[in-house]
Structure 1
Amino acid sequence: MHWSQAGRNILLAFFVYALIYSCKPAETVSEMRLRPMSPGRLIRNIEENAFDYSSFHVKRINIQLDDGQSKNSFRATMQAVKNQQILLTVSKFNIPLGRLSLTPDTILFVNYMERTYITDGYSALSDLLNFDLDFYAVQAILSGNIFSFFEDDDELKSYNSYVSDGLYMIQSETMRKLRKISEKGKVQKAERILRRSEEESLVVNTFFFDPKLFVMKRMVLEDKTYLRNLNLQFDDYQKVDQKYYPGSIMLTLNNGGEQMHLEMTMSGFSTEHSELLPVRLPDKYQRVYLN
């Protein structure tokens, strides 16, 4: 049995939130002349300011999701225990809609409205979102450690640092070369570079950071081969244990002409220790599949 579109929307809102909710924005910094900073030094500053936690709880999350076919709004809460579990509970008009549990090995989603559930590894959800995902990648983002996306440290050496619109920016060298070629009108050369990269899918990453706190303000991921891109902006920050978390996040995902837009507002952050309750599967719920 396959899952309904409404069920897909709920899970998509769940997981997109888990994927990106805690990349942290900074305080507004007055306009100043920024001095260039080497990639190595900038990356060290970013890592030193990365958030870490044993337990984390977000009590109030308002989600607005527009997938191009329908618009939905949800309320949610989130709990996380490091290296063990991430648990999201979603509701609408105070009616529980479902729960999503992420552990190192398993995704479990229980849809109370349709009396169904999904249990699987991460490959099916990676296919749905068109991004490679696992539990530790999600957890790394919850800590603000975006560099865990990279396969090895050598990959970071391909990045250069720049100053752009009052923010520090790091970007893959391939993207800078392509942009310079395009600006000079050498379109054919740029197309040859893309064709050579088609087998591996050329993904260009660009990150913007606050120059005072070295935390993220914007992230852009562009798949030049398959014409996909993910754009995130972070605003309305709140202070949590001397670190900063966003009170609002805006996400736009373009996937081959299809667009999804998601907005979230959050409040009620806590790092107090808590035990997560297991997600119970009610009797007679039917298992369904994403694909």
Structure 2
Amino acid sequence: MMSIFRTKNSLLGIAFLLLVFLQFSCKSTYDLGQKRAHGMSDNKLYSLIQDSSLLYKTLFIKRFSAHYESKGKSQNVRGSIKILRDSIIMVQINAPTGILEVARMYITPDSVKMIDRLKKEYMESDFLYLSDKLNMDVDFYTLQSILTNEIFQLNELYEKRRPFVRNFKGKVIDDKYVFISDKASKVERKLRKDKYEKLYKFNYQRFEIDPSLMKITDVLVRLFGEERDMTLKYRDFINVEGQKFPSELVFKVKDSTQSLSCKLKYNKLVLNQDLKFPFKLSSKFKRIYPE
């Protein structure tokens, strides 16, 4: 479904991977499944999910750790993340044994910049570069929503950009609220009849929402024509300054050529602190270009 940066620098590849998957945390978790779902209108369900979204101007994840596996290899990564809502996402990657920064990624709605401090190299490109590496037609705001446990629409799933409730239908399934993309009934009929060859023109997106928290817990995206599947699982919801937020994210992606899984844990999340987003380069750094 997505590829890792094929620059010389593996650390920048790790930074990219983390940007796709990250989440944040503090301590003391909530239990899921404490309430049963009951019928309500799609508009009301959507409004309740929006109302439960994290309210913030800035997010500062002072520490995160991640473990991912791909093609029989695994790696652990640590670092920190800063987000200025609708403007900047910055990820700092630290050396495995300490707080020394070894790489940094700086993303805005228009650009992607990366620094490898060990190799003294940097890269600059537009946001389309990141979208291409994600192998999905996402913009900055969709990426931000994925990172912050907000509901989103993938651009490539729909011919027209319409309000969410016009592209999705709400249901109650197994005591959970579920939003399913509007062509899902056609997809599910063909799946039941094993007519996979007829699915190439369809895409499928599904959100599961826990009734007790009114938070998204699971996301499934299927792009049948391109044989790509993505799942997101948000777990260990915690209290962050009076708001509920997941401290763990499990991400799995599979396409016809590769599979990847990533488990993320977060610590020390701070809301609405005045933050700086420096991206200074020494004249000694060499610019490299996307492949």
Contact 1:90 1:99 in 2 (8 A): yes
Residue 251 of structure 1 corresponds to 251
Contact 2:111 2:127 in 1 (8 A): yes
Give ranges in structure 1 of 5+ residues lacking alignment. none
Q: Which amino acid aligns with 1:52?
A: L
Query: 2: distance between equivalents of 1:253 and 1:30?
Result: 26
Query: 2: distance between equivalents of 1:277 and 1:114?
Result: 22
Structure 2 vs 1, CA of residues 68 and 5 (structure 1 numbering), >3 Å: closer, same or farther?
farther
Percent identical across equivalent pairs?
19
Query: 1: distance between equivalents of 2:165 and 2:14?
Result: 35
Residue 132 of structure 2 corresponds to 127
After TM superposition, give the deviation of residue 168 of structure 1 in Å: 1.0
After TM superposition, give the deviation of residue 155 of structure 1 in Å: 5.6
After TM superposition, give the deviation of residue 98 of structure 1 in Å: 0.4
After TM superposition, give the deviation of residue 51 of structure 1 in Å: 1.6
**Is 2:23 the partner of 1:21?**
yes
After TM superposition, give the deviation of residue 176 of structure 1 in Å: 2.4
Query: 1: distance between equivalents of 2:85 and 2:31?
Result: 30
Structure 2 vs 1, CA of residues 174 and 109 (structure 1 numbering), >3 Å: closer, same or farther?
same
Over residues 163-182 of structure 1, what are the superposed CA-to-partner deviations in whole Å (9 max), with x where a residue is unaligned?
23332111113222221233
Residue 205 of structure 1 corresponds to 205
Contact 1:53 1:143 in 2 (8 A): no
**Is 2:93 the partner of 1:93?**
no
**Match 2:142 to one of 137, 150, 175:** 137
Residue 82 of structure 1 corresponds to 85
After TM superposition, give the deviation of residue 33 of structure 1 in Å: 4.3
**Is 2:169 the partner of 1:160?**
yes
Query: 2: distance between equivalents of 1:182 and 1:79?
Result: 42
Structure 2 vs 1, CA of residues 272 and 124 (structure 1 numbering), >3 Å: closer, same or farther?
closer
Residue 3 of structure 2 corresponds to none
**Match 1:49 to one of 46, 52, 57:** 52
Residue 232 of structure 1 corresponds to 232
Larger mean CA deviation between 166-175 and 143-152 belongs to 143-152
Contact 1:13 1:63 in 2 (8 A): no
**Is 2:258 the partner of 1:289?**
no
Structure 2 vs 1, CA of residues 166 and 16 (structure 1 numbering), >3 Å: closer, same or farther?
same
Superposed CA RMSD in Å reads 2.5
After TM superposition, give the deviation of residue 266 of structure 1 in Å: 0.5
What is the number of residues matched between the two proteins?
A: 277
Partner of 1:13, secondary structure, is helix
Contact 1:63 1:73 in 2 (8 A): yes
Structure 2 vs 1, CA of residues 126 and 74 (structure 1 numbering), >3 Å: closer, same or farther?
same
Structure 2 vs 1, CA of residues 29 and 66 (structure 1 numbering), >3 Å: closer, same or farther?
closer
> Normalized against structure 2, the TM-score is what?
0.85
Residue 269 of structure 1 corresponds to 269
Give ranges in structure 2 of 5+ residues lacking alignment. 1-5
Over residues 197-245 of structure 1, what are the superposed CA-to-partner deviations in whole Å (9 max), with x where a residue is unaligned?
2xxxx32100000112211101111111101011011111211132222
Residue 215 of structure 1 corresponds to 215
**Match 2:180 to one of 171, 194, 198:** 171
After TM superposition, give the deviation of residue 8 of structure 1 in Å: 4.9
Query: 2: distance between equivalents of 1:40 and 1:272?
Result: 29
